Amino acid sequence: MPITSVSKDTDDLTMTVVAEFPVPVRRLWDAYADPRQLERFWGPVDYPATFTRHDMVAGGESHYVMTGPQGDTSAGYWKFRSVDEGKGFEVEDGFCTHPGVPDHTMPSMRMTFAFEEAEDGSRVTTTTWFASLEDLEKLIGMGMDEGMRCAMGQMDAVLADLSAYAVGSGTTLDLLDDTHVRVSRVVRGTVDQVWAAHQDPALVRRWMLGPDGWVMTTCEVATEVGDTYRYEWAREDGSNGFGFTGELLEAQPPVRSVTTEQMIGMEGEGTRNDLTLTPVEGGTLVSTVITYPSRELRDQILATGMVDGMEISYARLERDVLVPA
C-alpha cells in the first residue's frame, strides 16, 4: 500500500495524506498532469472519474464526473490557485451540480499537493484545509479519507505503465461520453514551440496537412477572442477541396484555446474544440476535447479516419517544425 500516513487535525481543520511510490518525481507528477492517467486513479474503483477539462496552470480549471455502477454520477471541479511544475500545486476543490458549475450548497476545500524525492522513489503529500469543523466532519463522514486511500491504491498500476503515455506512443482517442471525445498526443517540443506552431500561419501550413499529397490552400488563424479562422485543403492537383471555419471563444496563451468548428458548406451545428498544452516528460501533451452536438455526428466524423489524419499531422509537426525540447 503506497500510503504511509493519514492524519486529521481538528484544531487546524486539516487532513494530510502521505504516499510514496517507487518512481521518479517527474513520473509521479505527470500522472497528475495528464488527464488520461489522472482519471485512472482519481476516485473509488467503482466510481471512476472522467475529466472533460484539465488545465494544470495557475488560473486553470479541471472538470470531472465520477460515474457509479448504476449510472449515478457525482461531478466535481478543481480551480488551480498555483502550479510549481514538478514540485507542487494548490487547488480549490469542490462539488458541481453538473460539469463546470459549482454546487454552492456543498462545502469546498483548499488542497495542496507537494512532490519530493523519497528514499526509494518519490513522495506526494496531499493536505486538505476545511472551512469549518462542520465541513471536516461532513466530508469525512461522506468517505473522503476512504476515497483518498482508494485513489492512492490505484496509482501503482498507472505509474507502472511506462509506455502508453510517453513521447512516441502516438495519438490516442478516448470516448468520454456520448458527445465528448479526447484526442491526445505527446509531441517533442516545448509548450511555447507547440503553441507557436498552432498560431503562426507559416508554421501551420507546414504540418496541419493530414496524409501526404494534400496542400493547405487557405490558412487564416484566429489570434484574438472573437476572431474567425478559416482552413482549407485540396489535393496537390487542386481536386477534392474542403475546409473548416470557426470562432476563437477563449484563449490563455500558451496553454489553452477554445474554438468552434464547422465544415464549410455543411448545415447544422458544429463542434466545440478545447485545446490544452501541458508540459510532460519528453515534450508537450497536446490534448483536444471535442464536444459534438450528437452521438450520431460524433460517430460519423470519427469514421472518416480523423484520428489517423491527426497522427500524421502531429508526426509531421515533430519532424518538420519543432526543435526537440
Give Cα 140 distance to the centre of its chain: 28
Tell whether pTM > 0.85: yes
The answer, yes or no, to whether the previous bond of 211 is cis (omega within 30 of 0) is no
AA identity, residue 174 = D
pLDDT of residue 1: 54
Residues 89, 121 contacting (CB under 8 angstroms)? no
Assign 3-class secondary structure to 7-70: EEECCCCEEEEEEEECCCHHHHHHHHHCHHHHCCCCCCCCCCEEEEEECCCCCCEEEEEEECCC
Please state, in angstroms and rounded to a whole number, the distance separating the CA atoms of residues 37 and 184. Answer: 12
The pLDDT value recorded for residue 187 is 96
pLDDT at 281: 94
Domains in the chain: boundaries = 3-160, 172-320
User: Domain 3-160's class?
Assistant: alpha beta
Distances (CA, A) of 83 to 20, 42, 62, 91, 277: 21, 19, 13, 9, 14
Give the Cβ contact number of residue 45 at 10 Å.
10
pLDDT number for residue 323: 64
In this predicted structure, what is the pLDDT of residue 37? 95
Domains 3-160 and 172-320 share a fold: yes
- The parts of the chain modelled with pLDDT lower than 50 are 325
Q: How would you class 10 by CB atoms within 10 Å of its CB: exposed for 0-12, middle for 13-18, buried for 19 or more?
A: exposed
| pLDDT score of 12 | 92
Supply the CATH classification number for the domain 172-320. Answer: 3.30.530.20
Task: List the beta strands (DSSP E) in the chain.
Answer: 3-9, 14-21, 49-54, 61-67, 73-84, 88-98, 101-102, 109-118, 121-129, 172-175, 180-187, 214-220, 228-235, 242-252, 256-263, 271-280, 283-291
